[in-house]
Structure 1
Amino acid sequence: MNQTEPSAEAQIAAIIASAAKQPLLDAAFELWCRRYRFNTLDGRPTDEEVRVYRTLTPQQMAEKYRYDRDHAHEGPMFGYVKRAHPRADDAAIRQAIITAVKFEDATFEHFNWIGDFWECVVRAVARAAAQYPDFLDTTYRDARNNVAYYYK
């Protein structure tokens, strides 16, 4: 039995189709959380980018990381969200991406590993949710899973 993996474009389309079922803001968060998968499927980073990254100092890497997050609405993420919500206004898409990134940042900033791990995760996302109350409950659930994954 030879089963082949779906093409990169088919996998991207499936992720986008899943996000398209959600409101714009929640779709932006879902797609933002899948950014590393998109990078892999789209062939990023390129070999040349890898060579450049290896020459960066830790401070330069941190600056690049922050720049990429601060400008996520100007990069490939805009196209993914636009594909999920083609009728949405471009400015609304950009704002949804900015909000999704800030919400994810807040979940990590509020994480404080004091006590039971899962309670710390729940508390961090609850504090972030208080700052960003416009997401669906399912997105807050996904955010808890996201924080748990990165802090495991």
Structure 2
Amino acid sequence: MDTQSAEDELSAIIAGAAKQPLLDAAYALWRQRYRLETIAGRPTAEEVRVNRTFSPEQFIIQYRHERAHAHEGPMFGYVKRAHPRADDQAIRQAIITAVKFEDAYNKHFDWNGDFEDCVARAVKQAARKYPHYLETTYRDARNDLAYYMK
């Protein structure tokens, strides 16, 4: 992908998030983090080489660290671009909340019954703890959960 088309795609993703309230924008960008990383040229070839040497335990430690510190990395810049007037602490908190919301619906997922019902139930349970999202965000969460659990 050439530099201009990468920047155009990045700008389009951020512009879509900018149409939403801060909390929903942070979640929208968080759920596209893998695409955003690819556009930004991550992981680098060196990072891929190093990651391939990780034991499962090392991978889990890195995964948890990246999630725990998501508000300190590139995600902060993406959300700031979507909501440039937002307070930096509010942006950090929105990212932290997005990660915790995703963790919550994944934790609540239980293969007990019809697949679609299991997905809906998991997001509904997570929504009780994270009630401030738009309905479209809960729909996106259901879609993401269904995609990753299939």
TM-score bucket of the superposed structures, by smaller chain: over 0.9
Q: Deviations over 1:48-89 (max 9, x none)?
A: 001110111000000000000000000000000000000000
Counterpart-to-counterpart distance in 1, 2:114 and 2:143:
15
After TM superposition, the runs of 4+ consecutive aligned structure 1 residues lying more than 4 A away are: none
1:53 aligns with 2:51: yes
Paired residue for 1:82? 80
Identity between Structure 1 and Structure 2 (%)? 69
Give the C-alpha shift of residue 150 in structure 1. Answer: 0.3
Counterpart-to-counterpart distance in 2, 1:149 and 1:42:
24
Q: Deviations over 1:77-130 (max 9, x none)?
A: 000000000000000000000000000000100000111000000000000000
Counterpart-to-counterpart distance in 2, 1:136 and 1:54:
38
Paired residue for 1:70? 68
Paired residue for 1:125? 123
- The answer for unaligned runs of 5 or more in structure 1 is none
- The answer for unaligned runs of 5 or more in structure 2 is none
Paired residue for 2:15? 17
One-letter identity of the residue aligned with 2:81: R
Paired residue for 1:150? 148
What RMSD, in angstroms, separates the aligned Cα atoms of the two structures? Answer: 1.0
Question: TM-score normalized by structure 1?
Answer: 0.96
